[in-house]
Amino acid sequence: MKLYTATIALVVLWPASAHAYEPAGTPPDWDPPMDMQHAYWKVLADRFEAGIGDNLDGYVWDVQGWYGGDHNRVWMKTEGEGELGSSPEHAELQLLFSRMFAPFWDWQIGVRQDLEPNPDRTHLVLGIQGVVPYQLEWDSALFVSDEGDVSARIEVEYDLNITQRWVLQPHFEINAAFSDDRELGIGTGVNNTELGLRVRYHVQREIAPYLGVSWQQLYGGTRDFAQDDGKSTSNASIVVGVRFWF
């Protein structure tokens, strides 16, 4: 809870630290000549899809949103997945404070609450998000759970314009843990990867239905735990979904 409070405090205090009226050298009771750092916001559902796989028919959501100024923002991230027709096996929600420290880079700090599976964990999140040279979108974070387990995630994707409206998007995600968490079926080392290739068509800038393939694979201890529990350890699927933002 302290982290929630800290994050909210940072955000609330930030506008107060904005300048009083020196920039124009005008009397203090004059309004500024223009938009003085309005807050903007955006919500992007990068993946919002259902898939037919060789081992599992499932669904996935991966939604991020931000609110704030140019340098400081609050981020919300949620992702989850499950088997078609059932409640999610994995679902999480992150609330982060984010600050730009280089032209294409933000550091982020906040909390992640796992809603599924049980037992649900709360994590401290330390993240770096931005754009790597060659226009690769990069999202990475280190998680420290309330059990003391440390894990990491890196997500990379790229948008290749085929035409002005058709876009090919390779996507790669890797999760790793630095300790076992048997209760959650997580083993030390690389846990899983997702490799996807999606082709979308922009009906408009904000809305793009897509079709793609996705391959998920478990590794090491995580794979062994899954096998012990009788779950599949890899899944290749054809996915259909819609990417949208507003």
Partner 1 sequence: MVKRSDKSRRDFLQSAAGLSAVTLLNAFVPAWARAMQVKRDDAALQESGSIVFDLAIRQHQLEIAGGMGNVVSINNSVPGPLLEWYEGRDVVLNVANEMNVDTSIHWHGILLPFEMDGVPGVTFRGIQPSTTFRYQFPVRQSGTYWYHSHSGLQEQSGCYGPLVVHPREPDPTTYDRDYIVMLSDWTFEDPHRVMRNLKKMGDYYNYQQFSLADLYGTGDMSRREAWKMKLAWDQMRMMATDILDVTGSTYTYLMNGLHPAGNWTGLFAPGERIRLRFINGSAMSYFNVRIPGLPMTVIAADGQNVHAVETDEFQFGAAETYDVIVEPKEESTYTIMAEAMDRSGFAAGTLTMHPGSRAAIPPLRKRPLLTMVDMGMDMSGTDMDGTAAPTLDDTQSSAMGEVPMDHSRMTHAEMGHKLPVKNDHAGHDMGDMSTAGPIIARHGPDHHGPGNIGVAAVERNRLGERGLGLENLDHRVLVYTDLKRLANDFDDRPPAREIELHLTGHMERYMWSFDGKQFHEVDGPIEFSFGERLRLTMVNDTMMNHPIHLHGMWMELENGHGSQLPRKHTINMMPAARTSVLISADAPGRWAFHCHLLYHMDMGMFRVVRVS
Min dist. Cβ of residue 23 to partner 1 (A)? 5
Shortest Cβ 207–partner 1 spacing (Å) = 13
Q: Does 28 bind partner 1 (CB under 8 A)?
A: no
Size of the site for partner 1 (CB under 8 A): 36
List beta partners, residue 175: 153, 192
Residue 22 touches partner 1, criterion: CB under 8 A: yes
Write down the residue that tokens 């096998």 correspond to. 227
142-172: buried (b, 16+ CB within 10 Å) or exposed (e) per residue? ebbbeeebebbbebebeeeeeeeeebebebe
If phi over 0 gives left and psi between -120 and 50 gives alpha, with beta otherwise, what is residue 134?
A: left
Does residue 17 bind partner 1 (CB under 8 A)?
no
What are the angstrom distances between the C-alpha of 18 and each of 12, 67, 69, 133, 225? Answer: 11, 17, 11, 32, 52
Contact code string over 110-149 relative to partner 1, x by CB under 8 A: ---------------------x-xxx--------------
Of 26-34, 46-54, 186-194, 231-239, the segment contacting partner 1 by CB under 8 A is 26-34
What is the nearest approach in angstroms of partner 1 to the Cβ of residue 65?
A: 11
**Closest-CA residue to 176 (of 195, 194, 153):** 153
Contact stretch for partner 1 (CB under 8 A) within 49-57, 74-82, 103-111, 190-198: 103-111
The rounded distance, in Å, linking the Cα atoms of 59 and 48 is 8
Q: Tell me the one-letter amino acid at 113.
A: Q
Q: Smallest gap, in angstroms, from Cβ of residue 36 to partner 1?
A: 5
Q: How far is the CB of 193 from partner 1 (least distance, A)?
A: 24
Per CB under 8 A, contacts with partner 1 among 154-173 are 160-164
Cα angle at 195 between 189 and 197, to 5 degrees? 170
Q: Kindly list the residues in this chain that would bind partner 1 in the complex (CB under 8 A).
A: 18-19, 22-26, 30-37, 40, 42, 70-71, 100-105, 131, 133-135, 160-164, 205, 245
